[in-house]
Amino acid sequence: MAETEQALQVHVTGRVQRVGFRAWTQAQAERLGLHGWVRNERDGSVRALIVGPEAAVTAMLLLLREGPRGAVVSDVVTEAVEPGAASPGFAITG
């Protein structure tokens, strides 16, 4: 039985820019078999679309709460979105 696909838009705040957060997020997402995108926001936060099997999405959220070395994550806010909202692969945008 196939696992249910989940899609979340994620907003990460704290010291998350200029620490390699986008590249780290892309690498972790690809390792977990997720697709979507990650981008920097003008306010210094990072936003991502994470799409994939529920267990992999949950694992990614745990990773995002820690972030890469040098990051200080203050908060991770999620919003459920339609799973069809992402292209295959995981891209760094903006």
Active site (catalytic) residues: 22, 40
Of 29, 10, 8, 2, residue with least CA distance to 77: 10
CB 72 within 8 A of CB 15: yes
CA pair distance 48, 82, nearest whole angstrom: 14
CA pair distance 30, 75, nearest whole angstrom: 23
